[in-house]
Amino acid sequence: MKLSSQTISVLKNFSTINQNLIIKEGNTLTTMSAMKNIVAKAEVDQSFPQEVAIYDLNEFLAALSLFTTPVLDFQEQFVMMAEESNPKKSLKYFYSDPSVVTSPTKMITMPSSDVTFSLQEDTINQLKRAAGVISSPDMALKNNSLTVKDKKNDTANNYSMDVDCTAPEGADYNFYFKVENMKLLSGNYDVTVSSQNISHFQNVTNKVEYWIALEPESSYKV
């Protein structure tokens, strides 16, 4: 088996959410942050033949990078990585014990949708860049605007960008996210936010989606 660039991109993205990963049989990958406030799911190009537990996903990806065109042969206890043009160049990578690997046991079912909007790649990149420049840990969605700020400091610098939200008439909402939780694969997203403090980000072009918890200070009134 050879992993496509799309699959590698998903694995790299998932490694920013959790270094652990259990690959289930099939073509669906899921992961969950250690704090259980981010869950992600992706359909990839390859179908894996069996369950594989990886304790350190960054190490696994680094092992793959030793080869120009790696070919993977999944065995019962390990995966054999070899160079396509030179099979004698190989690496035996052993699986972890699944009991020490964090993995979601079931996927999240979104509750009622209260606010929806489209999030462009340029918008989230600019917001994250601004948050780094002005040291803002929080991102707030309020009245068709996304703002990076420090919600605990009213006099702290903040940076805003407009987004076109759809919400019930008269709705007054102020949803807070942690900037550090915006670990999204590159691309544009359709976003759904629920007043029950959960959000859903669906990639427009790739079959990748995220469920990200909102901060407890979030509010919603109609």
Give the model's pLDDT for residue 106: 83
Give the model's pLDDT for residue 105: 82
Extents of the domains making up the chain = 5-100, 115-221
CA distance 70 to 1: 9
Contact yes or no for 101/55 (Cβ under 8 A): yes
Select from 124, 98, 101 the least CA-distant residue to 32. 101
Per-residue pLDDT for 63 more than 90? yes
Per-residue pLDDT for 136 more than 90? yes
CA distance 175 to 48: 38
* Non-local CB neighbours of 132 within 8 Å, separated by 6+ positions: none
Give the model's pLDDT for residue 222: 87
Q: Model confidence over 100-135: pLDDT tens digits?
A: 998 888 888 898 899 999 999 999 999 999 999 999
Give the model's pLDDT for residue 102: 86
Contact yes or no for 199/178 (Cβ under 8 A): no
Report the pLDDT averaged over residues 184-199.
Answer: 96
Give the model's pLDDT for residue 44: 96
Q: Model confidence over 6-16: pLDDT tens digits?
A: 999 999 999 99
Give the model's pLDDT for residue 123: 97
Cα 36 to the chain's mean position, in Å? 12
Place of tokens 């610098």: 157
State the CB neighbour count (10 A cutoff) for residue 118: 14
Give the model's pLDDT for residue 176: 97
Select from 214, 215, 207, 162 the least CA-distant residue to 189. 207
Give the model's pLDDT for residue 107: 84
Give the model's pLDDT for residue 18: 96
Report the pLDDT averaged over residues 148-158.
Answer: 95
- Equal fold, 5-100 vs 115-221: yes
CA distance 87 to 82: 5
CATH of 115-221, one of 3.40.50.300, 3.30.420.40, 3.40.1800.10, 3.70.10.10: 3.70.10.10
Give the model's pLDDT for residue 39: 97
**46 SS3 class:** strand
CATH of 5-100, one of 3.90.1200.10, 1.20.140.10, 3.70.10.10, 3.40.1190.20: 3.70.10.10
Give the model's pLDDT for residue 103: 85
